[in-house]
Structure 1
């Protein structure tokens, strides 16, 4: 597991020296907070850890996070779903630099195109976060924060690697700034010939990905700062279809086929932050926009496409004050307004669908006696296409005095709005959307304890979580002869509960290690009343262990990691098999190392799936076998 925190820093007005502050969380509410002061279950993955571990896709880093389950359709670059604490993939909100990137069609984010390049840190929250972040944050939030430039100078970085399956990766970045501004611009290109993700035939399924990311921060005055971000992704990957030719011996299996999917993603934001009253009042206005266009091809011809857009405008004000006579307390009160418009245009319907949401949100933060930290939030959403919703969140942390023990707990509600396809989708002779759907609703809570051993060299945390889901959107089938389907809000509850364990060990002499384990019990309500089935693609047991050693005056580094995924169920549409099948447990071992030739140049290499484990994350889709990579990285 990767858990190091992001450090904030400031410059001393008296000495001019840089002072390192406590690690902070940007995403754990409407305002940043020190990590030890939040009651929410979180994980922070730093960019330095991603580079040191040679992680190339964000999804592969999430495999080692407690509570996370990753499912990929075969090769890297393929459609990749991420589920948290047994929830659905569209119940996880994903942001890049604070811009929501979930797709309008499915409500999910496809992690298959998210290259781990030029990332400063990844902040991860588990549990309902809708009170602060709205719909889709029912099970958690992943916020990818890209690097800013360091002021008063410029740095150029480059990276190149090649490996198995005709893989090539290249990246280049420029970052830096002056006295009152900083900027960063990066680009990454990855291509691979891939391998055959089907058990039938021999066609390779490859992909290519071009990603450009930029951000600029400008201090107009000592009290007024503006910031802008831009991101563009152009990707294309080969896919194999499922065979639904009646009577075929491969019916229901993934078979070779000349099919491809292409996507163009564009996201941007512009914000202004003003601080007044000697820092007591902070106001922030922000506008974000995003467009995702997808094309689908068969035998070289485009067969369908869709285009989705999301625009958001928000304003919030935060006032901070202290009450020294009352438990030595300090307080923060935040209020805000948000407007969001989403549009969706599918190729099979000559109509653009849209929906608007207006929201009011409020937050309170309190610190008492330098040991007790409370947070509360409430949100009201007014939707023009479905019912309105109110969500709330409460959390607290207690640092027990004169110990290395911290207690943390949170409770909250969440909502997930229907997707555009669920509301308005239409597939002739197969599916009809339901515009009368209501949002899915959830109540969840967790409680945990963190304790440091051996003077803080070993830090361990155990957390129990419990969350339910009501008004779940499920598929309903009609009768003979056509058996057409639609979607409805189901009765009953889907239940998710479990335990998350994590530990981080930092010893002297350059050795560090970490481990994580998650037990997840996720069941769905079925038509049989009280009978419950395990949710698909959620392993009951999962975990990871990794270790690294740095030596030769920190010039050389070696690492190894083990990722375990227990048995899990999946759906199968093969006539000779039951509707649900069991996918075997698997264990993947990765190793690697790097060596700094000089202060500017570093060489590295790694082997993924060292023991060539044969496994599937999704029924009938082959996963990657053993692969090796070598590369070079330079800083100037």
Structure 2
């Protein structure tokens, strides 16, 4: 498939070059302006939102030569990333000290978290077809339901263009034996647009174990399609379809009680294979001169995971999610009341989740019906409020009600924006936590209760020198009750784990800082810093423990310079993670181990040869830092990548 994608891209470029077709002048993505589509059930200008957000655009991803979404998220305040092993290893993302399944991940508005685990494995997500990444921090369950306890990531893929055609192809190779080929084609007519993309990534990887010498590589194939059609001037159709097939080599841990290597990562011949489908189909109807908007959408996702040992499938799971939703929004003005502009939204959702593990001859399912209401108001063109409430009718759990309120106040005269939000969140037990089973290591608990959370944040954004320098400082505070944790019991010579609801309370608080500066016309700087204090109680009234894999201090610094009339660009970045703790399973019972802090320095450059071709390169971990993100698992040393990108 790699050869097919690369050959197709090169052949198309050659044909375009020899046909005298119109030259492509600049790779400018379709701009969504300053609109956030995830900060509520209706889009809103980012300056009018009281929620803590970050937007990463395709332009920023390309300028930094970013390859993986997980690496892009390392520069987002409040986000910590930990990868178990090589590039194909499980990659978890935690927000503001919360668990990885407290982050709702959507692709084009479709929930892609696995029903088996409740979280999304970022190891399979590359950036080639991405238009922008929207990040919302803080509880968002009032809008999006379960798992949006600590935040939401919505990955918006590239769409088509009207009345034309354009394409992009690129190929890349790395010093670690990796290769990447991708092809994007998009076009359309007067009343429709369409985008199709394909990408294939292979990595040679490295040995994640201290034993043996086998490198653990992975393969990832991704196909994506997106369609928009104006059926009439007032009725629009849109659809998405995505397929991912990936296979990653991993090394397992030895949990044989009494073994001299108990708890250590061994150089085993393990493989994790994943196949993912997701898609959606929606209709949007507008009337009353755009004042009344109705939306109906049907979406679904399906994920199959297989675990292999020495070429034999030892376990597998399959989970799916089907969602149908309808919402109606009415916007109106009440100018006599503080020059007010208002919108009211009401919505209904139905969702069915299914789960089938390989150790059983039957599966499980659960349904939820939800009602959502949202209000959005603007006053005096400087004060903005937003509130929402949601009630979930669950057939397997107690019904739940969540809420969210937020506000922003702009002082145009001083370049100041105040923002604050308060909300509740909920995370339902995963199917695996309820019904999962792994011989000799794990037994589920069908009596688990949902986790509940309450959080708030407040901050100030201040611009200086005509917005050449902008800084935002935000304080956050969030608690968690009914936290699901794991207990261990010695059974038949091995420790067997079982999930239970913890009686104590987890507390997370901290500060997020973001600063951007245009030092010169072509010299830019961006910096982030996060302080996180995340602690948990093993029992009500008990001592508080620092939660694992949550660095107390994190930060990033990026400096970029463009020259030669913007044809060339160089950048350097540093990503810092402070000391953190992790579970050490080499002791019996397990204990805590400190993971030393580290700084990764990356650098890259790109040069646009002409309107059609550019070359680029990137060095990751330039100084070959030795570090751990998960106890016992080695990480990637210094590696360099070079590539060429063509437009047609």
TM-score range, shorter chain: over 0.9
Any conservation in 2 of the 1:569–1:580 contact (CA below 8 Å)? yes
Give aligned pairs, total. 618
Measured at CA, do residues 631 and 583 of structure 1 come closer, stay the same or move farther in structure 2, by a change above 3 Å? same
Please name the residue that 1:380 is paired with: 391
Alignment of 1:108-507 (within 5 A): 108-428=119-439, 430-477=441-488, 484-507=496-519
* Structure 2 Cα separation of the partners of residues 531 and 78 of structure 1: 33
Q: Identify if the C-alpha distance between structure 1 residues 480 and 600 changes in structure 2 by more than 3 Å, giving closer, same or farther.
A: closer
| Aligned residue in 2 for 1:6 | none
Deviation at 1:164, TM superposition (A): 1.4
Deviations 1:520-549 (A, max 9, x none): 000011238330110000000000000111
Q: Give the deviation of 1:576 after TM superposition.
A: 8.2
Q: TM-score, normalised by structure 2?
A: 0.93
Secondary structure, aligned partner of 2:289: coil
Kindly report the root-mean-square deviation, in angstroms, between the aligned alpha carbons of the 2 structures: 1.5
State how far apart, in whole Å, the 1-side matches of 2:564 and 2:290 are: 46
Shift of 1:78: 1.5
* Deviation per residue, 1:485-504 (Å, 9 max, x gap): 43222212100000000101
* Alignment check: 8 A CA contact 2:218 2:248 kept: yes
2:88–2:249: 8 Å Cα contact kept in structure 1?
no
Q: 1:553 aligns with which of 565, 573, 577?
A: 565
Aligned to 1:628: 640
Distance in 2, Cα, partners of 1:481 & 1:593: 57
- 1:108 Cα deviation after fit: 0.8
Deviations 1:263-315 (A, max 9, x none): 00000100000000010000000000111001111111111111001000000
Q: Structure 1, unaligned stretches of length 5 or more? A: 1-18
Residues of 2 paired with 1:575 and 1:37: CA distance? 52
Match of 1:107 among 84, 108, 118: 118
Matches within 5 A, 1:502-581: 502-527=514-539, 529-575=541-587, 579-581=591-593
Aligned to 2:433, the other structure's residue is in SS state: helix
- 1:595–1:294 Cα change, 3 Å: same
**Contact 1:492/1:525, CA 8 A, preserved across alignment:** yes
Cα deviation 1:103-131 (Å, max 9, x = unaligned): 01110100000011111100000000000
Q: How far apart, CA to CA, are the structure 2 residues paired with 1:248 and 1:287?
A: 51
Change over 3 Å in CA distance of 1:20–1:345 after alignment to 2 = closer
Q: State the Cα distance separating 1:250 from its structure 2 match.
A: 2.3
Q: Secondary structure at the match of 2:231?
A: strand
Q: Where in structure 2 are there 5+ consecutive unaligned residues? A: 1-29
Q: Distance in 1 between matches of 2:174 and 2:440?
A: 46
CA contact (8 A) 2:503 2:538 kept: no
Rounded Cα–Cα distance in structure 1 between residues aligned with 2:295 and 2:570 = 44
Q: How far apart, CA to CA, are the structure 2 residues paired with 1:283 and 1:298?
A: 50
TM-score, structure 1 as length reference: 0.95
Checking the alignment, whether the CA contact within 8 Å between 1:386 and 1:436 is kept in structure 2 is no
501-510 vs 473-482, greater mean Cα deviation? 473-482
Give the match for residue 14 of structure 1.
Answer: none
1:612 is aligned to 624
Give the Cα–Cα distance (whole angstroms) in 1 for the partners of residues 508 and 300 of structure 2: 33
Instruction: Report the counterpart of residue 8 of structure 1 in structure 2.
Output: none
Q: What is the aligned counterpart of 1:54 among 50, 62, 65?
A: 65
Q: Answer yes or no: is the 8 Å Cα contact 1:130–1:413 preserved in 2.
A: yes
Residues 209 and 632 in structure 2, CA contact (< 8 A), matched pair in contact too: yes
What's the CA shift string for 1:549-599, capped at 9, x where partnerless?
A: 111011000011000000000001113897000000000000010101100
CA distance in 2, matches of 1:188, 1:452: 40
